[in-house]
Structure 1
Amino acid sequence: MSNKEEIEVYQSSENIFADLGRSDAEEAFARVKLASQIADVIAIRNLTQAEAGVIMHLDQPKVSALMRGRLAGFSLDRLLRCLTLLGQEVEIIITDKASGSPLPAHISVVLPSMAAIINEMQTLHRPT
């Protein structure tokens, strides 16, 4: 006879912060997605942390923290500013909540595909 414990498994939502019950789950998840986009742009452009810091008006240790997902001190506004300073277009779309939806209105961040980002970067840095 086996002495194994049964472990209850739950299906995760897409947002780990919501799964953990954080009251600021949507904002925290949005900040992570924006930081991930910033890190992707820095990598695609082959920027050092110091070079990225100059562009984003941050010192290198702050860029390092951002790249490692340590986002204390990084508001949504600050992350959006970093993206625009890196040459990224940021579009904010506000819509009515779906009629009849029992869920509250929410915040979401939709990122472009990596292929689109790479294509855009190649276009920007193509010799003329």
Structure 2
Amino acid sequence: MSNERFASVWDAIEDTPEEAENMKLRSSLMLALKNHLLRNNISQTEAARLFGVTQPRISDLMRGKINLFSLDALVNMAAAAGLHLEIRVVEETA
């Protein structure tokens, strides 16, 4: 068994650093969207109408089915929810 340590679970389970970064961003956006809906008591039906998707799609979001959502789709949902997104790029240090 390896004693290798990872900064993120995504770093451990994804095949490439690029895939891990994509999953980190997607999971952050999904969590932000879920928390926004819960904090504001927005029903899945209301959220579906707001985001222009179906209610089962919102159910997938709430259940964390990350493999069903692209980064692009999550950005669009966040914008439709009135959330402001910022991106910060930092150079990795060894």
Q: Per the shorter chain, which TM-score range?
A: 0.7 to 0.9
Of 32, 56, 65, which residue of structure 1 is paired with 2:27? 32
Task: Could you tell me which runs of 5 or more consecutive residues in structure 1 were left unpaired when the two chains were aligned.
Answer: 1-7, 103-128
Aligned length: 92
CA distance 1:19–1:55, change in 2 (3 Å): same
Match of 1:62 in 2: 57
- Residue type of the alignment partner of 1:13: F
2:6 is matched with: 13
CA-to-partner distance for each residue in 1:31-69, whole Å, 9 max, x for gaps? 011100000000011011111111111100010001111
Question: Once the 2 structures are TM-superposed, how far is the Cα of residue 94 of structure 1 from its aligned partner?
Answer: 4.1
Q: Which has the higher helix share?
A: 2
Which residue of structure 2 aligns with residue 80 of structure 1?
75
Q: Output the amino acid matched with 2:13.
A: L
Q: Which structure has the bigger radius of gyration?
A: 1
Give 3-state SS (helix, strand or coil) of 1:72's partner.
helix
TM-score (norm 2): 0.82
The TM-score, its normalising length taken from structure 1, stands at: 0.62
For structure 2, which runs of at least 5 residues remain unmatched after alignment?
none
- Aligned-residue Cα RMSD (Å) equals 2.1
Paired-residue identity, %: 25
Deviates more, 1:27-36 or 1:17-26: 17-26
In structure 1, distance between residues paired with 2:4 and 2:24:
18
